Amino acid sequence: MIVFFVASTLYFPNNLFSASGKQGVSGEFSIRTGDATRGNAGRVYVHTGNGMHGRGGNIDLFGGDSHSTQYRSGFDGSDINLRAGHSTTKGGNGGSVNIVAGSGRHEDRNDGGDGGAVELHGGHAYGRNKVTDVGGGVVLQGGSSQHAVGGLMNITSGYSASNSSGAVSIVTNKSGKTGVSGEGKNLFAMIDYGNMQSLYLIGIFFTSFHRNRFG
């Protein structure tokens, strides 16, 4: 295992990795700051260089693939886990996870910069079983609460200073050769009248685009 305790600015060489053994597991690679007995602990700051006449550098995070040459089964691919810190202080909130795409800052009237997209995709399933080998899901869920209300789930389209706001689209994808597209169920709307909030069920239940039928 390789561990770096960051106390000040540290410049890495072009290639830094933890090698594997001939028979066995590869080493762990860890970068972390030290604990603070009084005050704030140090942060880990990762920043690529800017590009003057080209693109700035990417930051790529890849989990390792899982293989077996002995026909062993059940080895899932590695996970990528992002978790903000907990707070045990009175009145303190847990840390947030913020993922923000870049801005297109050129203001040309004919073809200015567009904002970058934030995309979340479930994994592709290559298995041939038509029942069990399903594609990976995307789950968005607000946080639970022990005593107060649970966390809010808020999906809002983008604001425009001089044009229409962005659309909100919830669509099931098209089906394959021998099926129908997925169902959409239980769509609710929170209607806010001043200080009064009510929950209404939108009367939309669509079975599939293949049948083109709405109930």
pLDDT digits (tens, 9 = 90+) for 150-178: 888 888 888 888 888 888 777 777 777 77
Predicted pLDDT of residue 100: 92
Predicted pLDDT of residue 154: 84
Predicted pLDDT of residue 215: 34
Q: Which residues in the chain show pLDDT less than 70? A: 1-24, 71-72, 179-215
Residue 42 CA to residue 46 CA, distance in Å, equals 13
Q: C-alpha angle 54/56/59, rounded to 5°? A: 145
CB-based contact 183:211 (threshold 8 Å): no
Q: Is 194 left (phi over 0), alpha (psi -120 to 50) or beta?
A: left
pLDDT digits (tens, 9 = 90+) for 47-79: 888 999 998 989 888 888 888 777 667 788 889
3-state SS assignment for residue 115? coil
* Residue closest to 118 by CA, chosen among 97, 142, 135: 97
Predicted pLDDT of residue 123: 92
3-state SS assignment for residue 156? coil
Q: Is 109 left (phi over 0), alpha (psi -120 to 50) or beta?
A: alpha
Task: At 196, list the tokens.
Answer: 């009064």
Burial of 208 (0-12, 13-18, 19+ CB in 10 A): middle
Residues in contact with 54: Cβ distance below 8 Å, sequence separation at least 6, in sequence order: none
Burial annotation 15-37 (CB, 10 A radius, 16+ → b, else e):
eeeeeeeeeeeeeeeeeeeeeee
Predicted pLDDT of residue 7: 47
Predicted pLDDT of residue 111: 92
Predicted pLDDT of residue 141: 87
